[in-house]
Structure 1
Amino acid sequence: MKCQITNALSDFFFEYETPRQVLVRNRRVGVVCRLIQLGVLAYIIGWVFIYEKGYQSTDTAVSSVFTKMKGVGYTNVTGEERVWDVADYVFPPQGDSSFVVMTNYIITEGQKMGKCPELPGKHNCSSDADCEGGSFKRTGHGHMTGVCDNATKTCEVLAWCPVENDHNIPDPPLLKSAENYTLFIKNSVTFPIFGVTRSNLVEGIDATYINKCLHNTRDSPLCPIFRLGDIVKESGFNFETIAKVGGAIGIVVDWTCNFDVDVKYCKPTYNFHGLYGNPSETDKARASVGYNFRYAKHYMEDKVPKRTLLKVFGIRIDIIVQSLARKFDIIPTLTAIGSGVGIFGVATVVCDLVLLYLLPKREFYKNMKFKYTDTHGQHDSESLGLDTSSVYFASEAKTRPGQDTARSNDPDSEAGSTETEESKK
């Protein structure tokens, strides 16, 4: 027993097994095999290594964005002149990566808390019975008092009076001058795996350059200062249309870097996308048009709290940072090579299927590829004390009387791998 265990361990550690191979001289199968291998090789080199860059590891950036708008707007509504600066037309004012630039508005001044009639067309009534006191409607401006105003034939409400009338949107937009506002974007990214930090104020962009540059996709692609009208144009919208009712635009700062070369070549690119609505759509076909919100400025007048209400129509800017950095790494390289080598086995599987099931001489190839043994016959011979190899070789000698003794006694000799004239027929 101890000897058997020792032999088994010795065989396990000191012996090497290799599969038996059969060399088939067949032009069609050979061509199919080489074509498949060539396709796999093209896939590994072209797709895995060149296109997908499977020899590199990847990392995405942690980023921060600061923004600053500049520009002055001017309006003259019914003879009332007004100048609008950054504090008036940017919401919120903190310089975040998402903000709104006001381009049009409806203003309701001098509102104070009290009772007043609703607008015509909202909560119409003919008597007090039509106005349910103590209730309110979603589209209304306040809390109904249960009184029908005879002058307007609308229900009276407790609200900020006079109520806002937003039926008529100014056209052209009041702040059309917003087209010449400028946006400054400051972006910093860090790739933690590679330990690289970059800013969109790359080499060559200093204070002197920033003071005079304006972003242009062709001439000044790295300038971080953008004209609002150019942003709208690049996103596919018409400025006057989007300025009237508002909309949303995305600015994508793309950091796609290859750190196998010098870090200074890692520079951002800027892309512009219309996020809200399709420029080719007709406004009448959509249920809700544009982008707007309300903003109130509260004050005291003669000890009475009042407010000025603005319905703001504006362009919402969303700055999105997109990043992907790559660098050579031996682990993904070996993984890509190993998977590629494994795919080469597809050629062997396909050629075996052709040989064993499609070619006319498939039975001959099966005999060459596989060895068949009768376990019952071998067991009976061993129980009788016979030498199974001698019996096998003897039977082989009887079936091949024309062959010499050396060839008939070796089942793995060239005679067993040669296609005879009879099999060719």
Structure 2
Amino acid sequence: MGLWNSIRYYNTVKYLQIKSKKLACLKWSIHGIIFISICVILFWKKEYQENSHLVSSVTAKVKGVAVTNDSELEIVLWDVVDHSSLSQGKDSFFVVTNAVVTKNQTQGNCLEGPDSGTICSSNEDCTKEYTNQKSNGDPTGQCVEFNSSVKTCEVFAWCPIEGMRNASKPAVLESAENFTVFIKNNIGFINFNYTKRNILPDMNETYLKQCMFNRKTDPYCPIFRLGNIVQEAGENFTEMAVKGGVIAIQINWECDLDWLLHKCVPEYSFRRLDEKNDKKTLFPGFSFRFARYYKQNGVEERTLFKVYGIRFDVMVTGKAGKFSLIKLITYIGSTLAYFGMTIIVVDFLLANYVHPSCCKKEVKSYYTGKKYETVEYQLEMRDVSNREGQDCESSP
């Protein structure tokens, strides 16, 4: 019978209407705060938009020429092939700022220093099959005199062995701060079938030949001076050039693809990635080795370069948003429940808070009596009635 009644009838919630201007003002004030908060979040965080993350590709072209003139390098011209074609990686480029040079190396037997070779006292200490990880070559098995007090194992290697020299200070290519780099960045938002690049539509060839990135006067120019990049990262180029380091060039795309508010331009920022403090890390900076080979009098020789420099990593992030009716309806539906907080607040004040200016004790008691119905007593009376009826049926 109960199931049949639940099918035939529609049940709804019973509400109490309280005629009180103060409670009405409180109710609409809470509604207003909730409504304003929902609207602020809706437009500030653009909850009405569908979002898409980007895919990106980056190419970089460095330009600049420097001349070094010191005791090691003498007068040497460094162009793009010399200082920027090395150690190129995906979305990154490298620029040489300092170098330690070992000239006229030829293959043969030579001595190693105590730091890189094996100190020995006799030939038995120099095993041919054993290769020391610090060694610059293959041991010959001979223990020879390094100086009057130390003997080391002889090796077959490129001789003379690279010396344990520190990087020059100031850096030999300190003028590299005036080099420029042209960064081309192509992005795409797959969900919206939208593509863009950091060379904006209003940029022509004449503009690109003379522009230079400046955060205040020209924030969208894709050509950067290396010294300015390092300065924007909060570093000093002269100091960083001695041992090198790693700088991040961050390109952020926050695109609004709606017709009225359309905006999709890059924002550039810069920061240093590696630890520069010698006390916090071993071997700070960035360096590697390469060699230039040549033949002299029919003998192959080489010049060994240990170069220090700055590696620039280009990191592209961002997302795009576009109006979506489904997203808007979903957001509105999910926020309607917040209006139920008004009932909770007002009911709590009526049931628990007594104040002459708002809720008097008599009002609280009357409201409580109307809103809450005690059912335990009614159940107890029903049980008594049932027992009396059973007694009546059992009596003769």
Residues 262 and 164 (structure 1), Cα distance of their counterparts in 2 relative to 1, 3 Å cut: farther
Moved more, 202-211 or 125-134: 125-134
| Residue 121 (structure 2) pairs with residue 127 (structure 1) | yes
Paired amino acid for 2:219: P
1:326-345 alignment runs, 5 A limit: 326-345=321-340
Residues 159 and 33 (structure 1), Cα distance of their counterparts in 2 relative to 1, 3 Å cut: farther
Q: Aligned residue for 2:50?
A: 57
Counterpart CA distance in 2 for 1:283 and 1:199 is: 40
- The answer to whether the 8 Å contact 1:105/1:310 transfers is yes
Moved more, 211-220 or 260-269: 260-269
Q: CA deviation at 1:119?
A: 2.2
Unpaired segments ≥5 residues, structure 2: 355-360, 390-396
Residues 324 and 235 (structure 1), Cα distance of their counterparts in 2 relative to 1, 3 Å cut: same
Q: CA deviation at 1:246?
A: 0.3
| Residue 64 (structure 2) pairs with residue 68 (structure 1) | no
Q: For residues 378-419 of structure 1, what are the alpha-carbon distances to aligned partners after superposition, in whole Å with 9 as ceiling and x for unaligned?
A: 47768999xxxxxxxxxxxxxxxxxxxxxxxxxxxxxxxxxx
Q: For residues 349-386 of structure 1, what are the alpha-carbon distances to aligned partners after superposition, in whole Å with 9 as ceiling and x for unaligned?
A: 2332333344456554332112334346447768999x
Q: For residues 201-223 of structure 1, what are the alpha-carbon distances to aligned partners after superposition, in whole Å with 9 as ceiling and x for unaligned?
A: 11221111111211111122221
1:400-419 alignment runs, 5 A limit: none
Q: Aligned residue for 1:324?
A: 319
SS at match of 1:23: coil
Counterpart CA distance in 2 for 1:8 and 1:383 is: 29
SS at match of 2:192: coil
- The answer to whether the 8 Å contact 2:88/2:94 transfers is no
Residues 339 and 263 (structure 1), Cα distance of their counterparts in 2 relative to 1, 3 Å cut: closer
Q: For residues 283-315 of structure 1, what are the alpha-carbon distances to aligned partners after superposition, in whole Å with 9 as ceiling and x for unaligned?
A: 455433211112233455566554432211011
Q: CA deviation at 1:49?
A: 1.5
Counterpart CA distance in 1 for 2:246 and 2:187 is: 25
Counterpart CA distance in 1 for 2:370 and 2:158 is: 97
- The answer to whether the 8 Å contact 2:87/2:94 transfers is no
Q: Aligned residue for 2:77?
A: 83
Paired amino acid for 1:62: V
| Residue 354 (structure 2) pairs with residue 356 (structure 1) | no
Counterpart CA distance in 2 for 1:66 and 1:114 is: 42
- The answer to whether the 8 Å contact 2:65/2:77 transfers is yes
- The answer to whether the 8 Å contact 2:100/2:306 transfers is yes
Counterpart CA distance in 1 for 2:334 and 2:202 is: 44
Q: Aligned residue for 2:213?
A: 215
Q: Aligned residue for 2:393?
A: none
Aligned CA-pair RMSD: 3.1
Q: CA deviation at 1:267?
A: 1.5
Paired amino acid for 2:113: L
Q: CA deviation at 1:128?
A: 2.2
Counterpart CA distance in 1 for 2:88 and 2:347 is: 69
Q: Aligned residue for 1:311?
A: 306
- The answer to whether the 8 Å contact 1:40/1:340 transfers is no
- The answer to whether the 8 Å contact 2:120/2:126 transfers is no
Aligned pair count reads: 375
- The answer to whether the 8 Å contact 1:29/1:354 transfers is no
Equivalent residue in structure 2 for 1:170, among 165, 168, 171: 168
Q: Aligned residue for 1:44?
A: 38
- The answer to whether the 8 Å contact 1:111/1:162 transfers is yes
Equivalent residue in structure 1 for 2:101, among 103, 107, 124: 107
Q: Aligned residue for 2:14?
A: 20
Moved more, 59-68 or 130-139: 130-139
Q: Aligned residue for 1:408?
A: none
Q: CA deviation at 1:137?
A: 3.6
Counterpart CA distance in 2 for 1:238 and 1:18 is: 73
Residues 45 and 265 (structure 1), Cα distance of their counterparts in 2 relative to 1, 3 Å cut: closer
- The answer to whether the 8 Å contact 1:258/1:266 transfers is yes
Counterpart CA distance in 2 for 1:221 and 1:336 is: 35
Residues 187 and 10 (structure 1), Cα distance of their counterparts in 2 relative to 1, 3 Å cut: same
| Residue 393 (structure 2) pairs with residue 370 (structure 1) | no
Larger radius of gyration: 1
Q: CA deviation at 1:186?
A: 1.0
Equivalent residue in structure 2 for 1:295, among 265, 290, 293: 290
Counterpart CA distance in 2 for 1:252 and 1:68 is: 17
Q: Aligned residue for 2:357?
A: none
| Residue 138 (structure 2) pairs with residue 140 (structure 1) | no
Paired amino acid for 2:60: T
Unpaired segments ≥5 residues, structure 1: 386-425
Equivalent residue in structure 1 for 2:238, among 240, 243, 265: 240
Paired amino acid for 1:233: Q
1:177-192 alignment runs, 5 A limit: 177-192=175-190
Taking only the aligned residue pairs, the percentage that are identical comes to 35
Moved more, 355-364 or 111-120: 355-364
SS at match of 1:61: strand
SS at match of 1:99: strand
